[in-house]
Amino acid sequence: MAVNEGKENKMGVMPVNRLLLNMSLPMMLSMLVQALYNIVDSIFVAKINEDALTAVSLAFPIQALMIAFAVGTGVGVNALLSRSLGEKNTERANQVATNGIFLAFVSFVLFVLIGIFFTDIFFRTQTNAQDNSELIMQYGTTYMRICCICSIGMFVQAMTEKLLQSTGKTVLAMTTQMTGAVINLILDPILIFGYFGLPRMGVAGAATATVIGQCVAAVLAVVLNQLKNKEIRVSFRQSPVNFGMIVEIYRVGIPSIVMQAIGSVMTYGMNLILMSFSSTAAAVFGVYFKLQSFVFMPVFGLNNGMVPIIAYNYGAGKRDRMIRTVKLSVAYAVGLMAVGFLVFQIIPDKLLLLFEASDEMLKIGVPALRAISCCFVFAGFSIVVGSVFQALGKAFYSMIVSIARQLLVLLPTAYLLAKQFGLQALWYAFPIAEIISLSLSTIFFVHIYRTIIKHVGPQGEEHEVRLSDR
C-alpha cells in the first residue's frame, strides 16, 4: 500500500480549475444531501409539535460540539496527511492516519460521558423560563442522549472520510456521506411515526435514524479505505499511537475544534436570549440553522476539496497552483452565497412553512431570515480564507476570527439590540459580526500571503502553471 513514487498525485499536476471541481463537486453534492437530511429531519420533527422542534433546536449546540471534535480533528489529520503525501513521506502519512483513527475513538468516549451525565443540566438551564419547559426538556434529553451515547458512527465516519479526501478520493467520501444521509431520510418517518408495524418513537425515532445512518456510513467508509485507498495504510502495529504525532494533529486541529465549539457556545447563548422572549423565537433560530445549512454546506464541501489541494501543493512547493486554487474557491463560494441570499430574501415565508410554521413563527421568522441572510456573501469569502489558514498550518488565525465574530461581537451585539430595540432588532447582529469577520480575515490573509505563500516554490513557476491550466 505504499505510494507509487513514479506517479505524481493528481493534486500536483491536474489543471487547477478542473482539479478543484473534480475534488469539490462530489463533496458539495454529498453536503447538499446532508443539508437536505437536516431540513427533512426537522420537518418530520415539526409534525409532532412545535415543542419537539424547539427541543431539537435547543439540542443543536451539543450536536455542533460533537461535529466540532469530529471535523476539527479530521482537519488536522487531513492537512498533515496531504502535506506528507506531497512530500512523498509514506511512513509519516500512515502514522497520521492511524493516530487519527485512535483520536476518533477517544472523542466518542468523551461524548458518551457527556450524554450520560450532563444532558439534564444542559436542558434545565435553557428551559426554566418557559411554561412548557418540562415537555421540551423531555423531548430534548431523549434526543440528545441517543445522539451522544451512540455517536461512534459519527466519529468513525468523519475520520475515515477525511482519509479518503486527503488522498483525492472525494467520490468515495461522497458515497459514504450520501449513503448515511439517504438511510437517515428513509428511517426518519418510519421510526418517528411508527410505519410498517414499528412502534411510534417520536423524537427518539429521529435520533435513532440519525445514529443508524452514521453507523452504516462509518462501516462503508472503513471498507472503502481498506479496498480503495492504496496510498495510506492504517495499522496500529506498524504505526502505534504516538503522542508527538497527536500534538502535531491538534496543533492544526484544535483551532478548528475551538472555532466550531465557539459556534456551539454562540448557539447556546443565543438560545438563552431567545428563550427569554418565547420558545417560538428559539424554534425560529433552530429552523434558520437548518435552512442556512443548505447554503453553507456546499461551501464547506468546496472547502473540503480545496484544503488538500493547497496542503499538497504547499508541501510540493507549487505556489501558483495554491494561489489559483484560492482565487477560484473564493469566486465559487461568493457565487453560491449570493444565490442563498436571494432565496432568503424572496421566499422566507415559503421556507418557514416547510416546518409547519404558526402565524407567530412567521411573524418572527420572516424578518429574521431576511436580516440574517444579509451576511451570506461576506461569509463566503471568510469561510474560504479561514480554510486556507488551516491548510497552511496557521489555523490560529481562523480561531481568532471566529472568537471575534461569535463571542466578542455577535453575542454581545445581539443581547444589546434585543435589550434596547426588541427581538426583531436582534437579528441584525449577524451581518454586523460578519463585517468584522471579513475585515479580520482580509488582514490575516494579506499577512499569510506575504510571509508564507509568496515564498513557496521557484520564482519562475507561474507561467508554466498557468499554461497547464488552459
* Tens-place pLDDT, residues 43-102: 889 888 888 888 888 888 898 899 889 988 988 888 788 778 777 787 888 888 888 899
pTM over the 0.85 mark? no
Q: What pLDDT is stored for residue 331 in this prediction?
A: 93
Q: What is the mean pLDDT of residues 397-415?
A: 91
Q: What pLDDT was estimated at residue 129?
A: 54
- Residue written as grid cell 515564498: 455
Checking if the pLDDT of 419 tops 60, the result is yes
Give pLDDT, residue 430: 95
User: pLDDT for 173-215, tens place per residue?
Assistant: 888 888 988 898 899 999 999 998 889 999 999 999 999 999 9
Cell numbers representing residue 38 in the block: 437536516
Range list of H helices, 276-410: 279-316, 319-346, 348-353, 359-372, 376-391, 395-403
36 falls in which pLDDT band (50, 70, 90)? confident
> Which residues are CB-neighbours of 275 under 8 A, at least 6 positions away?
126, 127, 129, 130, 281, 282
- Cβ–Cβ under 8 Å, residues 94 and 234: yes
- Mean pLDDT in residue range 135-155: 92
Q: What region does 429 belong to: left with phi over 0, alpha with psi -120 to 50, or beta?
A: alpha
- CA distance readout (Å), 397 to 75, 444, 464: 15, 7, 31
Under the phi-then-psi rule, with left for phi > 0, alpha for psi from -120 to 50, and beta for the rest, what region is 196? left
Give the mean pLDDT of the chain.
85
CA-based nearest residue to 383, from 279, 295, 275, 466: 295
Mean per-residue pLDDT for 351-376? 93
Q: How confident is the model at residue 349 (pLDDT cuts 50, 70, 90)?
A: very high
At 424, list the grid cell.
Answer: 426583531
How far from chain centre, in Å, is Cα 185?
19
